[in-house]
């Protein structure tokens, strides 16, 4: 099998690391997450897990939560974050999180 074709068929994982704003409430966070999750699922996401970061061993970037979801391919992930629907959520995201780093990963 062609390695390039095989690699394209392998699902990819989106990993998001976020720092919650000190003034964010549960309602503020839910306002973003409850609207963002359906967009991810509509693009083929299968949520894997959410984690609360308990402590940092190395690095300086503040991170409080991590979310992972599996997608059929990288283009599916990119389509969510490039969509007008997601861009409309950016103000809500900014109210809930002071920083959010989102990555597309694949097994190595």
- pLDDT, residue 9, reads 61
> Residues 102, 43, 49, CA angle at the centre, nearest 5°?
55
pLDDT at 1 over 50: no
CB distance 24 to 95 below 8 Å: yes
H helix runs in the chain, sequence order:
3-9, 26-42, 74-82, 84-87, 90-96
- pLDDT, residue 5, reads 47
pLDDT at 77 over 90: yes
- pLDDT, residue 79, reads 97
**Residue among 3, 14, 1, 10 nearest 72 (CA):** 10
- pLDDT, residue 8, reads 54
The full set of domains in the chain, from first to last, is 10-105 (3.30.70.100)
DSSP string covering 78-90: HHHHHSHHHHTTH
Count the alpha carbons within 13 Å of 23 in the hemisphere toward its beta carbon.
2
Q: What is the pLDDT of residues 12-70, one digit of tens each?
A: 999 999 999 999 999 999 999 999 999 999 999 999 999 999 998 998 888 999 999 99
């Amino acid at each position: 099998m062609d390695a390039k074709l095989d690699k394209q068929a392998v699902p990819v994982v989106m990993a998001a690391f976020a720092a919650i704003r000190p003034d964010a409430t549960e309602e503020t966070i839910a306002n973003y997450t409850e609207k963002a999750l359906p967009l991810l699922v509509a693009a083929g996401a299968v949520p894997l897990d959410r984690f609360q970061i308990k402590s940092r061993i190395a690095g300086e970037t503040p991170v409080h939560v991590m979310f992972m979801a599996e997608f059929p391919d990288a283009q599916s992930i990119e389509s969510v974050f490039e969509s007008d629907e997601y861009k409309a959520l950016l103000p809500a995201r900014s109210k809930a999180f002071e920083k959010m780093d989102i990555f597309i990963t694949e097994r190595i």
